[in-house]
Amino acid sequence: MLNRTTLFAAHQKLGGKLIEFGGWEMPVQYTSITDEHLAVRNAAGIFDISHMGEVTVSGTGAVDFLNRILTNDVRKLFSGDCQYSLMTNERGGVVDDLYVCRLSTEVFFLVINASRIAADVAWMQTQAAQFPGELRLTDASHNYAAVALQGPRVKEFITQIIPGASVSGKRVPAVTGLKKNEIGGFPLNNACVLISRTGYTGEDGFELVGQDDSIRQVWDASLAAGQPFGIKPCGLGARDTLRTEVCYPLYGHELDEDTTPIEAGLGFFAALDKGEFNGRAVLAGQKANGTKKKLVAFKMTGKSPPPRPHYPIWANGAPVGGVTSGTQSPSLNIGIGLGYVPAEQAKPDTQIEIEIRGNRFPAIIVPKPIYKKLK
């Protein structure tokens, strides 16, 4: 039996097409991935992200503990700040990629991938057992539902849904006062919703985490208030095409326990000088000496079927790597993808080929992100 989010009935009512994802029954699309994708690029979209996991870490040892298990430096965060980070093993491989938010001096809130909740919690508990400091670690995944409101016009109507000032985290007079990567707690009727200015689409937007009742209210209110602005409910299909265009990794595709953040091009999020952390020596070695494989972004250069995960990548007449994510880009209307190739073939403008059902189609390595908004 698959897990269902508190918005399941809402998805059915909207005619969402349901699929299995990470043990959850989730909408992949309502009307069309392309339409939903373009709504987020040009106006607004709302996604159910209740399947994602939440872990709280608190106590006087929280900062040191998180800095020991994550690659980024949590000491850079003031109350109300969030940062993208990676949880690595001793080999520098990625256990999960996540957002860590500092709610107050000793309270941190981690948002983790649905497919990794069990693995992450087990890993963190093992790490905590060896940690000498004072620490409380709680898997709060079942306590929370969540939605993402994404798109350039969200800021025009979100205050109709969340009208007040924040009462915790970053103190702002209105939710639109949050800057990118800031989080605050906002009252909604008699409850509190945690809202961060973050997302997985490359657009401005907010992610809202709260109890089931609150999130159902937010869902209905957003579709009503956003209607004049062109909001659409969006499924996992559009979420995937949006993040692929801006080259955000997806765990299980670009990231796994045998791939390091350096190989994945995420060295920016590894604070190698912050002190010891899991896998630090491996990452430092790779940063200094380079890696064998590198994650690259590519575009198809002619008419071709869309690239898909696991298709072979060829260079100089030989297979050299594989596609990790690929799709037809709804914004650019060409095939795009991400994949691993040897470092010497990873430079932008390198000509490659993607093998699709036995035929090879030309592509070119491009700088990340593949899609960039015109200013």
Partner 1 sequence: MSDIPSDLKYAKSHEWVRVNGDTAVVGITDHAQHELTDIVFVELPSLGRMLKAGEACAVVESVKTASDIYSPVSGEILAINQSVIANPGLANTEPYAGGWFYKIKLADPAELSKLMSAEEYLGQVGG
CA proximity to 53, closest of 169, 144, 149? 144
Task: State the maximum Cα–Cα separation within the chain, in Å, rounded to a whole number.
Answer: 64
Find how far residue 337's CA is from the centre of its chain. 17
> With binding defined as CB under 8 A, does residue 305 bind partner 1?
yes
User: Would you say 105 or 359 has its CB closer to partner 1?
Assistant: 359
Quick one: which segment of 59-67, 127-135, 300-308, 342-350 binds partner 1 (CB under 8 A)?
300-308
Task: For the CB of residue 265, give the shortest distance to partner 1 in the complex, in Å.
Answer: 25
Among 6, 150, 214, 241, binds partner 1 (CB under 8 A): 241
Half-sphere exposure for 38 (CA within 13 Å, toward CB): 9
284-316 b/e (C-beta count within 10 Å ≥ 16 → b) = eebeeeebebbbbbbbbeeebebbebebbbbbe
User: Would you say 168 or 328 has its CB closer to partner 1?
Assistant: 328
> With binding defined as CB under 8 A, does residue 350 bind partner 1?
no
Strand pairing class (312-315; 351-356): antiparallel
Among 237, 321, 337, 339, binds partner 1 (CB under 8 A): 237
Q: Which positions from 36 through 65 interact with partner 1, judged by CB under 8 A?
A: 37
Half-sphere exposure for 139 (CA within 13 Å, toward CB): 17
User: Is the four-CA dihedral 91, 96, 102, 108 of positive or negative sign?
Assistant: negative
User: Would you say 11 or 102 has its CB closer to partner 1?
Assistant: 11
> With binding defined as CB under 8 A, does residue 201 bind partner 1?
no
Among 91, 308, 360, 368, binds partner 1 (CB under 8 A): 308
Give the total of residues touching partner 1 (CB under 8 A): 17
List residues binding partner 1 (CB under 8 A).
28-29, 31-34, 37, 237, 241, 304-306, 308, 327-328, 330, 357
